[in-house]
Chains A and B, each alone.
Chain A
Amino acid sequence: MADNILEIKNLTFSFRTYGGVVKSVRDVSFDVREGEILGIVGESGCGKSVTSQCILRLNPEPPGFFEGGSILYKGEDIVKKSDKEMRKIRGTEISFIFQDPMTSLNPTMTIGKQIEEIFVGRKGISKAEIKERTIEILKLVGINEPERRYKQYPHELSGGMKQRVMIAIALVGKPNIIIADEPTTSLDVTIEAQILDLLKDLQHKMKTSIILITHDLGVIAKMCDRVLVMYGGKVAEKGTVDEIFYETAHPYTAGLIKSIATLDTAKEHKLVPIDGTPPDLFSPPAGCPFAARCEFAMKICYERQPEEHQLSPEHMCACWLQHPYAPKVDIMKGMEQEGKA
């Protein structure tokens, strides 16, 4: 097993707002290994974006602040770093691909300049070399006529091309970790497939680790080695892709899987949505955040936080159903036997 490159321990991050303190990320722990793709899945507002932005300290601070925990990168705690120290990590050690390429590029700066900006203020590289590397990276991410694109502005490019440029920006500093926050959500399905293939291909070539954030289990299945399922600011379940899909242990994960439509889903077969809405993180529930929506919820689920149960070396599930005294239930019930993943 490869070494851990990033270790996140008991991370808790909150925002002070007019309405009170929002506990966006609560006691989240996971690690990222060299050369793997780790998926983080969950619905809107579950804290996946905030968690990932904590790693690069991109959340606005204030109003955001760390309540506890640590993020260890190369043995140093990112939580304790100053903005100046963070600048050395951003772009060249860890880089970020944002969700919406339409709004994530500066409209008044050429593509080439935006990529080259990574090298601003870094020593030991000449202007000619920088340009050479920029053109090279544009070619690598599959942009035709890189010399011409270099001088173009974002509005002259299509959405897919812009996302390729974003990937180029993330790659050009040769980072060890790339965080991709829903990189394909705003793209159409064919472009999505191209971008995902590109990411996977580049990850193979460059041996970087990728943290892929998505709400699409299909993307997870296609791309990832390991998966982290988040709910209500906490980790609900984590494990390898196979464990998550075939040995599903958490009712929330089961709910996500049950609500996927596939090509062979029968016409009369009803998809099962998860009823209800995510918890209010201003005052998180005392018990399991998912209890209110969980069809298997027991009394204890509302009263106490579930313990973390290690089901295999990789597979962890935070659910009272894993407790030895809990009733044995089939959380995948309602799913037709169609052999789907």
Chain B
Amino acid sequence: MTKYILKRVGISLITIFVLVTVVFFLARLMPGGPFNDPKLSETARENLSAYYGFDKPIFEQYITYLKNILSFDFGFSTKYPSRTVNDLLAGSFPYSVDLGVRALCFAISFGLVFGIISALNRGNKIDLIFVIIAVIGTSVPDFIMGAILQYFFAIEWGLLPIAEYKGFAYTILPSVGLGFYTMASVSRIMRASMLEVVQQDYIKTARSKGISRFRVTWKHQIRNAIMPVITILGPTVAAVLTGTFVIESLFAIPGMGKYYVESVQNNDYSLILGMTVFYGTFLVLCNMIVDILYGIVDPRIRIAGK
């Protein structure tokens, strides 16, 4: 198991290194530069470039950058000269991650429960209701879902605050809006997986042992059915976190999404890099955790990694 984990960590580190390299050079390839404001004089532009080190050969910049990020220093933003990228991240990331985690918790817990209930009631009305919810969830995009939630829960019924992020009641609508798609897909996968597992021979073996129906479902069916859900969890985390931008602007939440888009518009090299590397690292980390989790749930994978 230790070897399996070490291997995963190694692969993750290489992925992050490749990411840094590709993004570094891609950002430089974009037309224009960070100091394109026509109001700036030629001298001012040169001075600024020298200050940020953009006048040095690109390879030297790359080496310096690599050295800096090893000590988690992402440099200064060119758009907000007084603030470091680290500051901007520290100010906005907690909101994004808070929203993302809430959305994920909602999506996974409700998705699993809906999927299980749906599968256990296969073919009757309860199943139909959950299948319809799942189809709606997977086909309605999050900005529409967010707006619908706002319209009904905040405007029509006045149950929950419409925007901002100032307490638990404020978090409910954006989390549901962000997590609804994932909830629906988790529920669909869980339902399908449950129905597949129930036909497996080992379920019949379990029944032939005279154990309770609950135990058969819990220990034999759900445990095996949950595998495909764990598999999609990695990409799902990515989807939920990249989806934050729309929901953040819809609900006026001061998260990372805003800076992400601005940095690309402004050619803010250090902020683009900082955001992407940070985001990327976070996703790689999520995938790594999923891989390790998978190894814990499925003993066959543990052995293969030895």
Residues in chain A within 8 A of chain B (CB atoms): 56, 58, 83, 86-92, 95-96, 98-100, 103-109, 114, 117-118, 120-121, 153, 155-156, 166, 169, 173
Contact = CB atoms under 8 A, between A and B. Distances in A.
Given A155-B299, A155-B303, A118 B210 contact: yes
Given A104-B202, A117-B206, A121-B215, 7 more contacts: A86-B210, A91-B208, A100-B201, A104-B205, A106-B202, A106-B219, A117-B211
A88 B212 CA distance: 10
B201 A103 contact: yes
A96 B207 CA distance: 10
A169 B212 CA distance: 16
B67 interface: no
A106 B298 CA distance: 11
Nearest to B204: A58
Contacts of B206: 106, 117
Contacts of B7: none
A98 B303 contact: no
B193 to A, nearest CB: 13
28 contacts: A88-B210, A90-B209, A91-B208, A92-B210, A98-B205, A100-B201, A103-B202, A104-B201, A104-B202, A104-B204, A104-B205, A106-B202, A106-B205, A106-B223, A107-B202, A108-B224, A108-B298, A117-B209, A117-B211, A117-B215, A117-B219, A118-B210, A118-B211, A120-B212, A120-B215, A121-B212, A153-B300, A169-B209
Interface of B: 200-202, 204-213, 215, 219-220, 223-224, 297-300, 303
Contacts of A120: 211-212, 215
Contacts of B201: 98-100, 103-104
B302 to A, nearest CB: 9
A83, A90, A106, A109: which has the most chain B beta carbons within 10 Å?
Answer: A106
Contact of A121 (B202, B211, B298): B211
A53 to B, nearest CB: 8
Nearest to B302: A153
A63 B212 CA distance: 21
Nearest to B220: A106
B60 to A, nearest CB: 53
B219 A109 contact: yes
A99 B204 CA distance: 11
Contact of B204 (A86, A98, A156): A98
Contacts of A86: 210
Counting from the closest, the 6 A-B pairs by CB-CB distance are A90-B210, A91-B210, A96-B208, A103-B201, A104-B201, A153-B299
Given A104-B201, A107-B224, A121-B212, A156 B207 contact: no
